[in-house]
Amino acid sequence: MRLKELESSLQNLSGFDEPKITLEQYCTTPHLAARMLYTAHSVYDDIESKVVADFGCGCGILSIASNLLESEFNMALDIDLSALQTAQKNCSNYEVEVDFILTDIKSNSLFKWKNKVDTIIATTSVYSLHKSSTREAKEWNVDYEIIAEMKFDVPMMYKFHKKKSVDIEVDFFRFSKKESRN
C-alpha cells in the first residue's frame, strides 16, 4: 500500500466522544498516523508480518494503519473503556482484526501471563511521539533515533483551549534495546 492510499484510508474514523484531559486524549491525524506507520513499515520493516501493540490506542488509528500494512497480529490497549469502544467500532468499519485490552499499561497487569506462556515474542523496537521540548531519551538507557520532527495538530477540544487549533512540535522516536558495548 502506498503512503497516500494509507492516509486516504484513515480519513473517516470516529474520534473521542468526550475526550478526557486527565488522560491527555488527542486524536492522531490520518496524515501523522500514515507517515508514522508507513515509515516503520517501509524503512525499518517493523510492521508487515509482525506483532504490533498499540499502547494507549485511543480511537485505534495506529492499530488500523498497522493492520492495513499487513501486520500479523494487532493488540490495542487503553485504560479508557469508551476509547476502546470507539476503537472497536472504527476497526469493525474497516473489517480489520484487533484484540482489545482494557488495562493501565503503567500497572503490572500486563505481566500476569509471565509464567503461563511458553514463548514471549517481543519486537526489537518501540515507536513513540514526544513533545520536542522534552527530549529525555538519553537518560533511559536505550538506543534511540529521532526519525522525524513533526507537527501534531491539536484542535480546540477542551474548555481551556483558546485557539481554534495549535500545532505542537513532536519528535517521532524509534527506541531499541541498548546494545552491549565491549
What integer pLDDT is reported at residue 47 of this predicted model?
Answer: 93
What integer pLDDT is reported at residue 178 of this predicted model?
Answer: 64
| Whole-angstrom distance, CA of residue 100 vs CA of residue 53 | 10
Q: Give me the tens of pLDDT residue by residue for the chain, a chain 182 residues long.
A: 999 999 999 999 998 888 887 888 888 999 999 999 999 999 999 999 999 989 899 999 999 999 999 999 999 999 999 999 999 999 999 889 999 999 987 776 555 544 443 333 445 688 888 777 766 655 666 778 888 888 877 777 767 778 888 888 888 888 876 664 44
Neighbours of 77 (CB within 10 A): 19
Whether pTM > 0.95 for this model: the answer is no
What integer pLDDT is reported at residue 119 of this predicted model?
Answer: 36
Kindly tell me the burial class for residue 46, based on how many C-beta atoms sit within 10 Å of its own C-beta (0-12, 13-18, 19 or more): buried
Q: From residue 141, how far is each of 7, 126, 178 by CA, in Å?
A: 34, 14, 7
Query: What structural domains does the chain harbor?
Result: 3-106+123-177 (3.40.50.150)
Across the beta sheet with 142-155, the strand order is 125-131, 165-177, 142-155
What integer pLDDT is reported at residue 131 of this predicted model?
Answer: 78
- Grid cell for residue 79: 485504560
